[in-house]
Chains A and B, each alone.
Chain A
Amino acid sequence: MLKNITIGQYFPGNSAVHRMDARMKILLTIALLVDVFVSKGFIGFGLIFAFVLLVARTTKISLSFIVRGLKPIAFIAVFTFVLNLFMQTGGETLFQWKFIHITSGGLRTAVYMAIRLLLLVTASQLLTLTTSSLSLTDGLEALMRPLAVIHFPAHEIAMMMSIALRFIPTLMEETDKIMNAQKARGADFESGNLIRRAKAMVPLLVPLFVSAFRRADDLALAMEARCYRGGKGRTRMNQLHMTKVDLYGALAVALLTAALVTLNLLGAV
């Protein structure tokens, strides 16, 4: 059951997107996320969607794999849709029955929010799918470095993130193992009401925490044994380099942003 989570997973490959500099990819993804909110109409969303689709094709990752990553979000998307549909007002009334009151304005906001959510997740997914967690945190650290002026612990945060990311699969595997072991002892994680299910988690969570703490201890020891003393004066084995691909990527996103801004200025909906 834990194997089907694709969000945040790295999908190895050698496409242009894979080869881009992590820093540029992070910046461009942020730009894309801003674009999603700048856009105020279906033409804009269409443009972004086309762009995201284009990037997805370039990565050579199968679309079904990307769509699978949207599954956990689907519920939230539907939820926001319904919430906005009933709560937002404005425009003409489309449907009214007792206290239910649907307006065209509400409908539009609802559709927009759902689309935005799905685009947001897809765009950020493309980042994590094409960037290994190592270069991702390297990129983040490089981008946060200027903040050191205000004593922002960029290196520590990047290190924490890379450790956390590194241990997600390990912990999942561990969870799977413990779950199997408890199931072999007749534990039942799938049936019963909410309270029973929460109680059934105890035999899973206690060993998981115990082993997580043990792992943390081991890791700290292993890092100290290799003379880790924080980020100061640390050099890197893999330097980040910007290449032509990054330039093209930046140009493409800039073009998209320009188009969206123009659309907004023209007032097209």
Chain B
Amino acid sequence: MSHLSHVYMRGTPFEARALDDVSFTIEDGAFVGVIGHTGSGKSTLITHLNALLRPEEGRVIINGIDTAAENADLKTVRRTVGLVFQYPEYQLFEETVKRDVAFGPKNLGVTGDALEKQVENAMALVGLDPALGEKSPFELSGGQKRRVAIAGVLAMEPQVMVLDEPAAGLDPAGRADMLNLVKKLHQAGKTVVMVSHSMEDVGRMCQRLIVLNHGKIAFDDTPANVFSHPRELEEMGLDVPQSVKLAIRLREKGFDIPQDVTSVAALAEALLGQLGKAGDANA
């Protein structure tokens, strides 16, 4: 993706520049977090990733396919990049869970046993009981519905999964489950791009963070490096994780906490190490 810009409703008083000269590359197998406060262009950005929006300026190249080209093979792009929108459960429509999950692959021309297999695999991957397959998706709980929706995208067997706030609106247990699921997808070999508001989540899970601010990339780095700019992040209306905040305060007090601590677990470990040393010195 290079020098991508997108202007909404050009020429009307509602004109808004959603993306402004955004460039980055995502490697195979990466786990990238996209953060930014509301209206920073996150959603516009990810809709470009599977060519639902085509670039107005600049280019988006997915596996060598330039989506700005007139004759671009959009079907292949959409098969490569699976996009799960915010609150994906609202896109369910079929009579049974199975048929809803099969909608995507069917559109790609998969039939028969292969279709059955892909649906089963996707349902297993998101941890849905096969017994639910014949139920109506509207009878399920919120978290289950969301799993069905994600399975619907997974069933197309994309290489890249792009998820927009997969954990939004779930209770704490559902949240943890959902984030584990995202992690599992990454471990299963998918390239994952996750949009989130939660610094805690992206800090703990992602290898790389892209921070958007007013349609521009503010940071594109490892979580540790991004979180080493707490003041700039605050100015963008963002925050750093609690653990990083605590680490900064502790560092000010003279504790030796490594810069790459971005999660509660890592902080606890670093602290334990420190306290252990201090204990040894006292002894």
Measured CB to CB, the residues of A under 8 A from B are: 3, 11-12, 65, 177-178, 180-188, 202-203, 206-207, 210-211
Interface bits B72-88 vs A (CB < 8 Å: 1, else 0): 00010011001111001
Chain A positions within 8 Å of B91 at CB level: 178, 181-182, 185, 203, 207
Chain A positions within 8 Å of B78 at CB level: 183-184, 186
**Is B90 a contact partner of A184 (Cβ separation < 8 A)?**
no
Chain A positions within 8 Å of B92 at CB level: 207
Given known pairs A203-B103, A207-B93, the reply for A184 and B153 (CB within 8 Å) is: yes
Closest B residue by C-beta to A65: B12
Chain B positions within 8 Å of A186 at CB level: 75, 78-79, 103-108, 156
Closest A residue by C-beta to B82: A184
A-B contacts, 28 of them at CB < 8 A, read A65-B12, A178-B90, A181-B83, A181-B85, A181-B91, A182-B91, A183-B52, A184-B50, A184-B78, A184-B82, A184-B83, A184-B84, A185-B91, A185-B104, A185-B153, A186-B78, A186-B79, A186-B103, A186-B105, A186-B106, A187-B103, A187-B107, A203-B91, A203-B93, A203-B103, A206-B93, A210-B90, A210-B93
Task: Give 16 A-B pairs besides A180-B47, A207-B92 with Cβ atoms closer than 8 angstroms.
Answer: A65-B12, A178-B90, A181-B85, A183-B52, A184-B52, A184-B84, A185-B153, A186-B75, A186-B78, A186-B108, A187-B103, A187-B107, A203-B91, A207-B90, A210-B138, A211-B90
User: In this complex, which of A65, A188, A203, A211 has the most chain B Cβ atoms within 10 angstroms of its Cβ?
Assistant: A203
A-B CB contacts (within 8 Å), total count: 61
Give CA–CA (A82, B47) in the complex, Å. 43
B152 on the interface (CB 8 Å rule)? yes
Measured CB to CB, the residues of B under 8 A from A are: 9, 12-13, 47, 50, 52, 75, 78-79, 82-85, 88, 90-93, 103-108, 138, 152-153, 156
Chain A positions within 8 Å of B50 at CB level: 184
Give CA–CA (A206, B9) in the complex, Å. 28
Chain B positions within 8 Å of A207 at CB level: 90-93
User: In this complex, which of A177, A181, A203, A207 has the most chain B Cβ atoms within 10 angstroms of its Cβ?
Assistant: A181
Closest B residue by C-beta to A13: B13
Give CA–CA (A77, B84) in the complex, Å. 42
Chain B positions within 8 Å of A12 at CB level: 13
Given known pairs A3-B9, A177-B85, A180-B52, the reply for A185 and B93 (CB within 8 Å) is: no
Chain B positions within 8 Å of A178 at CB level: 90-91
Give CA–CA (A149, B156) in the complex, Å. 62
**Is A202 a contact partner of B93 (Cβ separation < 8 A)?**
yes
Task: Please provide the 3 A-B residue pairs with the shortest distance between their CB atoms, ordered closest to farther.
Answer: A186-B107, A206-B93, A185-B104
Give CA–CA (A202, B90) in the complex, Å. 14
Chain A positions within 8 Å of B83 at CB level: 181, 184
Give CA–CA (A210, B89) in the complex, Å. 11
Give CA–CA (A178, B9) in the complex, Å. 20
Chain A positions within 8 Å of B108 at CB level: 186
**Is B85 a contact partner of A184 (Cβ separation < 8 A)?**
yes
Give CA–CA (A181, B83) in the complex, Å. 8
Give CA–CA (A114, B206) in the complex, Å. 61
Chain A positions within 8 Å of B103 at CB level: 182, 185-187, 203
The minimal Cβ–Cβ distance linking A169 to chain B, given in whole angstroms, is: 11
Given known pairs A12-B13, A186-B79, the reply for A181 and B88 (CB within 8 Å) is: yes
